[in-house]
Amino acid sequence: MFLFFTTSVMAEAVKVEKVDVLDKKVSLNMPTTFSEMGKDVMKVKYPANNRPTQVYTNADTTVNIAFNYTANKIAENQLDVFSQQMKAMLANFSPKISKVDVNGQKAVMFDFITPAADTEIHNLMLAMSVDGRLLLTTFNTTKEEAAQWLEVGRESLLSVKVN
């Protein structure tokens, strides 16, 4: 069963639906126009061996929600230390870091812009502990599409729920 919601912040509404991901381990509200990225496309878009576990994208693959359920052990009370490590790793991109509550669970959100071959990419990354392991949920959009998608992505990340 799909539940439909509409974001309230957009002048032009984007419809979202609740989607179960990572073998139904978590769910979140995602734009209805997004579909799961195929493995072949993922290999091109994320060439490194540490590519995300699962990715959903728009038709042009310019706006993505990626999930990386890592093997790294982390407890909720270790998120502050993790955020400082990530801040150091992302220092060249001047990340904005905020502590957030996501459906009653502590999490950290990183907001930063990275260069790409022909544009800039605006990234929002949510870090949280799920069953004692690190879950990174990342929303990214091209600079050109950020005005339309960035707040939708933020709302999607903040809707993550551990099932």
| Residue-wise pLDDT tens digits, 83-136 | 999 999 999 999 999 999 999 999 999 999 999 888 999 999 999 999 999 999
Percent of the chain at pLDDT > 70 equals 93
* In the chain, % of residues over pLDDT 90: 81
* Cα torsion through 13, 17, 23, 24, rounded to 10: 130
Q: What average pLDDT does range 4-26 have in this prediction? A: 73
Query: Does the pLDDT of residue 9 top 50, yes or no?
Result: no
**CB of 115 closer than 8 Å to CB of 96:** no
Q: Beta strands 26-31 and 96-102: pairing type?
A: unpaired
- Three-class secondary structure assignment of the chain: CCCEEECCCCCCCCEEEEEEECCCCEEEEEECCCEECCHHHHHHHCCCCCCCCEEEECCCCCEEEEEEEEEEECCHHHHHHHHHHHHHHCHHHCCEEEEEEECCEEEEEEEEEEECCCCEEEEEEEEEEECCEEEEEEEEEEHHHHHHHHHHHHHHHCCCEEC
Q: How far apart are CA 48 and CA 20, in angstroms?
A: 25
pLDDT at 21 over 80: yes
